[in-house]
Amino acid sequence: MSNYQTPTRDILFAVEHLADLPSVTALPGHEDATIDLVDAILQEAGKLAEDILDPLNRVGDQQGVSLRDGQVQTPDGWKEAYQTFIGSGWNGLAFDPDRGGQGLPWLVATAVQEIWHSSNMAFSLCTLLTQGAIEAIELHGSKELKDTYLPNLIHGNWSGTMNLTESHAGSDLAQVKTRAVPRGDHYLISGQKIFITYGDHDLTENIVHLVLARLPDAPPGVKGISLFIVPKFLPDEHGQWAVRNDVETVSLEHKLGIHGSPTAVLAYGSGKYRDPQGAIGYLVGEPNQGMAHMFTMMNIARLAVGLEGNGVAERAYQQAAWFAKERVQGTAVTAPGGDRVTIINHPDVKRMLMLQKCRIEGLRPLGLVLGGAFDKLRKHPDPETREFNQAMVDILTPVVKACMTELGLENVSIALQVHGGMGFIEETGAAQYYRDQRITPIYEGTNGIQALDLIGRKLLRDQGQTARRVVQHIREEMNRVHHRELSGMRDQTLRGLEILEEIMAAILEMAGRDLREPAGIADPYLRLWGTVCCGWQLARAADIAMDLDDGNDPFYPSKIETARFYFAYEMPKAAYYQSVILHSAEGIANLDTAVFDVLQ
């Protein structure tokens, strides 16, 4: 098994040249985020990931978590690693310095998050959920709630969760039944939530649950859902957070992967710790606006899940490349009677490795561009620039989340395939990445939901205005690719943009006759976006690499070669998705469900 090596050089290249760090450092409050500082941050993050988190990744997978006497215990070494993590200030990287954060751009936080996910996805989920809780409270909490909860959450003494799902209501949150009854200055929360990542653990002093629930007079459906803070511990008469709230960890889920991450079933108001009428909670924002409040933080959460997908794929790719260089099997195709060679010399193994590499290096800058767009949306002084970056966030968020996780899953499967039969054996480590990765296309809204969001809210709602604006931006950037040797890449991407525009027009026409048709081809529409966007980033990377290549650094020729492979092997899929969308929509819409009867 190989050790994780942080791809600092490639991340830094993407941050500086593709995500345009200088435009982010020009924003108010981000002037100190220079390329030298980012380099130093990535170096330090890499040390923590390589020395502490990566060695614990397999420990977490093998030991898992346990529930004993109502308390979840994490694997050996995790508490010490967590204290090192928060002691170095990593938990508050992008948050308000006045509350203990570092105040760095989301672009920088995005770059660092990939490193955590690569080295130990199960561990990093704790910090990811805390990030979401901080966002929700910062955006919608009262001053009292912010003053009470944010300093400890930002530092990491406390962690946060998101409590949405119930056993009868997965993605259909309109069916949420958890209740919240007013009682003086607080509410009594009662109900049960499932699939709560880090719903209980022993890493922090307190756990702050963000819970969706209904008030007694709430209207039905999503319009009647409110958001509440429900801490695991409440303050006593001396202000010490030592009184147990009535939040019971009923059980832990037994999962395919991420065994080191506790996924809990939580009961609110079971009576185990307090009055059985309910756990004490506090309203966040306005009544019946819980879904709206939760979704304001959802874009950041979806970017984070996308980074999980690409991060684990990076780690699996590294393992596959190391194995291919070590594994001796077969002879060269040009010398069948010659000496046995390492499998990295076989053309099909080169194909599998390069397929992973080009996807990872195309998606990485796409996520960073999205991180930079969040910064500009929030801090740029020009309203028109903020409006444009809102369009970028709207379009790129579902693309990044779905493509990073879907292609990431394909990548870890290919990485396992490079190992041959050894990949199916746990000792090589390849299987863990596949098992861990499998949840990412499901997290934070399944990829089918992402596709419906891209085609419904981001295309049909405004008749394609937002999408066309992003297409035009990509076209302008592609027209600046100036090296003659890359004209084919530029032209292929421009043709991909034309296909996108043609498909958008076709989908708008479909929607006019039968809304089932665009819903049926939402997935290939999203994949078309992903294919073109990766080409956009890889062509730009190759163009910049040719500018910087002085013939002495193998990094730049590698960027160019990776882009060439993508345009030969992956970019032609744009035409494939075009055909699928145009020729299958009606058939899917009119498909009789009887065809799925098991016995006919």
Q: What are the structure tokens assigned to 351, written together?
A: 């194909």
Residue 240, helix vs strand vs coil: coil
Q: What are the structure tokens assigned to 214, written together?
A: 């209904």
| C-alpha span between 295 and 303 (Å, rounded) | 13
Q: Please answer whether residues 119 and 57 qualify as being in contact, where contact means their C-beta atoms are separated by less than 8 angstroms.
A: yes
Instruction: Measure the CA dihedral 414/420/426/428, to 10°.
Output: -90
Beta-strand ranges (E) seen in 172-262 are 179-183, 186-197, 206-213, 226-231, 233-235, 241-244, 247-252
Q: Kindly give the interhelix angle for 121-140 and 78-87, rounded to the nearest 10 degrees.
A: 50
Q: Which amino acid, 195?
A: F
| C-alpha span between 156 and 204 (Å, rounded) | 7
Q: What are the structure tokens assigned to 463, written together?
A: 């008749």
Q: Please answer whether residues 493 and 532 qualify as being in contact, where contact means their C-beta atoms are separated by less than 8 angstroms.
A: yes
Q: Please answer whether residues 168 and 175 qualify as being in contact, where contact means their C-beta atoms are separated by less than 8 angstroms.
A: yes
Query: Has 314 been annotated as catalytic?
Result: no
**Helix or strand holding residue 82 (H, E):** helix 78-87
Residue burial 29-58, b: 16+ Cβ < 10 Å; e: rest:
ebeebeeeebbebbeebbebbbebbbebbb
Q: What are the structure tokens assigned to 555, written together?
A: 């990094």
What residues contact residue 38 under an 8 Å CB cut-off, 6+ apart?
12, 15, 16, 21, 108, 111
| C-alpha span between 497 and 491 (Å, rounded) | 10
- Cβ neighbourhood burial of 530 (10 Å; 0-12, 13-18, 19+): buried
What residues contact residue 329 under an 8 Å CB cut-off, 6+ apart?
340, 341, 342, 343, 420
Q: Please answer whether residues 508 and 461 qualify as being in contact, where contact means their C-beta atoms are separated by less than 8 angstroms.
A: no
Q: Please answer whether residues 432 and 58 qualify as being in contact, where contact means their C-beta atoms are separated by less than 8 angstroms.
A: yes
For 386, phi then psi, to 5°, come to -65, -40
Q: Considering 308, 444, 517, 570, which one is annotated as catalytic?
A: 444
Q: Please answer whether residues 309 and 258 qualify as being in contact, where contact means their C-beta atoms are separated by less than 8 angstroms.
A: no
User: If you ran DSSP here, which 8-state letter would residue 484 be given?
Assistant: G
Give the bridge partners for 235, in sequence order: 241
Q: Please answer whether residues 507 and 581 qualify as being in contact, where contact means their C-beta atoms are separated by less than 8 angstroms.
A: yes
| C-alpha span between 130 and 197 (Å, rounded) | 11
The 10 Å Cβ neighbour count of residue 274 is 18
Active site residues: 444
